[in-house]
Chains A and B, each alone.
Chain A
Amino acid sequence: MTDCTKTINVRRDVALEAKADAEAERRRLARRGTLVVNLLSSPGAGKTTLLEATARRLTPRHSMAALVGDLETDRDAQRLSPLVPAAQLTTGGACHLELPLVRRGLEALGDPQVDFLFIENVGNLVCPASHDLAEHLRVVLVSTTEGDDKPGKYPKMFRTSQAMLITKLDLLPHVPFCVEAVQADARRIQPELDILEVCAIQDTGISAWCDYLCQLRSERLAAYQELA
């Protein structure tokens, strides 16, 4: 009896099942009319402030709910709850959200039938890029205070996003941040990126952002109806 080694060829994406699972969830939510938006940025770029402004602008005509991810505390959910149904997802140390946590959050809200479901990811430009949360739209925020060199440093985040929001525009006169430079850096990585500029605390650019969301919702949901 001689020992030998047998090699079994596989060639399969390790994340194949997770991707299929996310796709099924994306389809389920699209078919009942919900556009899922995953918001990503470094800590403090203004995700919750944007959601507050978005809620004020959208909710007269559209329904929305928010799931907010943080390592600890329910501060962001507390901020949003007066405006829209919001659930906090605390990761207990993990640096990103994953689909099971999102499902738990949806359950906590009673699986609401809303036009828009916003997921505020944990502030981090690295790991959240690798996790599909069944979103139809991935939006990365870059604030004027964090420097215009971020896209090139975190290529996966920008490559996998469909839109980039430049936030805290009011601070532009006070910081060395070049809007054209960040746009060019991001478009090199993702030429199809839609780029918008906002200042959530002064409500600048919020109406264009909401128009963009509504337009995208019609387009994406129609695409899923056709697949049916």
Chain B
Amino acid sequence: MHEQSLVRTLLKQVDAIRREHGADQIREVRVEVGPLSGVEPLLLESAFDQLAAGTFADGATLAIDEVTLQAECRSCRQQFEVDAFDFRCPDCGGHVRILRGDELMLVSVSVACHEHAKISS
């Protein structure tokens, strides 16, 4: 349910990018998900296939990069990978902010183009 509405938002953004670049067909949409994205990759993939069918993104693949949780200590600036959701700084025990792994990130969009009609970007 949640994945469906995320994919709807994602497809809208992909559509806008595609138009901006004058492309018709989408080949691949690459996203990044992490342990706190609130997204289950398998469900995201099936929602994508379902909602892309019959649209400009029909047949496109959704490439999902699964990343780990990265954080930075707000006291000592140490950057580290969060293990087992333990958010205490391993060096000083300080409070941290998350750098990566808590969102659904649109990384890139691959579109079909033709050599004779090179698209400038």
Contact = CB atoms under 8 A, between A and B. Distances in A.
Interface in B87-107: 87-88, 95, 103-107
Interface in A175-228: 188-192
Contacts of A15: 9, 103-104
Contacts, number: 99
Interface in A130-150: 130
A225 B10 CA distance: 34
Nearest to B27: A5
Contacts of B10: 14
A156 to B, nearest CB: 5
Chain A at the B interface: SS class? mixed
B2 A6 contact: no
Contacts of A3: 112, 114
B117 to A, nearest CB: 9
Contacts of A155: 35-36, 85
A159 interface: yes
A2 B116 CA distance: 8
Contacts of B115: 1-2, 4
B85 A10 contact: no
Given A1-B116, A4-B113, A130-B2, A10 B17 contact: yes
Contacts of B104: 13-15
Contacts of B64: none
Interface residues of A, number: 32
Contacts of A188: 85-88
Given A8-B109, A14-B13, A94-B1, A156 B114 contact: no
A7 B109 contact: yes
Interface of B: 1-2, 6, 9-10, 13, 17, 21, 23, 27-28, 31, 35-36, 38, 85-88, 95, 103-116, 119, 121
Closest A-B pairs by Cβ, 7 of them:
A130-B38, A155-B85, A7-B110, A14-B104, A6-B113, A13-B103, A2-B115
20 contacts: A3-B114, A5-B113, A6-B21, A6-B119, A8-B21, A8-B108, A8-B121, A9-B108, A10-B107, A11-B105, A11-B107, A13-B105, A15-B104, A95-B1, A127-B1, A155-B36, A188-B86, A188-B87, A189-B86, A191-B95
